Structure 1
């Protein structure tokens, strides 16, 4: 699917089926274990058998939402990195910004990450593979930055994992409707933290960073 430049920064309403939209709210409010199937059915105005016509069970509903979350994050990060060009520092800026914006704009989807223990091994393995792809991408960016003398991180793989863990934790505390920072402001702060984490030798000029954001 071809998307216009800068689409990774644009967030509209989620295009979910009524069942998935109701389930997402229920899981966010009560967690996976605390959400009975009948509650999801009640929220969407259907019977439990009708819900099972569309999804095999509660895990099937949850898995569909996790797939939506991982797909949304994946294309945004990849487009952001591609639009940054060849410079590792600008690629890292865009990758971090894309992840933070996803965490901030898609708070409910991001929160599903903390319930993954309820997935079956097969579904958990598929999710882990998607997450690994982003980890490999960020690791490559850090490694390239070190090779080009832009970063001083001694262990690129561990540094990339540390960055991703830091960004993932945003879902535990950020509330877009009740915090002092907008998603854009939050992304800007985490970009600075990420650049410090990789030990950037020379920070990208503000003009270059703005160009990477608007590419």
Structure 2
């Protein structure tokens, strides 16, 4: 039996998204619209994020289940604990957002063709950073930037977007430092969007989308 095709809504200039329950089984909710700061912040506050390639329409997603990390469930391996105790790396917050997101866009990920962090995305997230919504964590080794991550700070939920490493384990150091920082501030979760085995080693788990939306609502 063939599955029924349900058209995906096309966004207009109105700042509105379809009900989350209308997303496809893969999590695609809508296409089109723009990357204005108002639309992006509405998306993240609604449990939606953009993910598309440079030659496609804007695609907006809200997958079910959702990959999240509850800060008190962070897993730090014995080898990572030893590495952190050596003070080999220095971690900063919001010291160089532009360089972090640029590295995230350019780093070779091996299993991916190209990048989803397009020029349009770079410009949009720079604007979000200037408004205080997009945050970066940087990892330095002997004053050289060797890893980091960035995401959207909603005040009680951090929506992770991407991370990079130029040396082994640098992105993990950024992630662990960030989660500990957020836990100390009482954040309810880190949104990791889509589960991967790599994230799973750090304690990331899948929860029902409706549970995640509850965390977003506070």
- TM-score interval (norm. to shorter): under 0.3
Q: Which has the higher strand share?
A: 2
Q: Which has the higher helix share?
A: 1
Scaled by the length of structure 2, the TM-score of the pair is 0.21
Scaled by the length of structure 1, the TM-score of the pair is 0.21
Which is greater in Rg?
Answer: 1
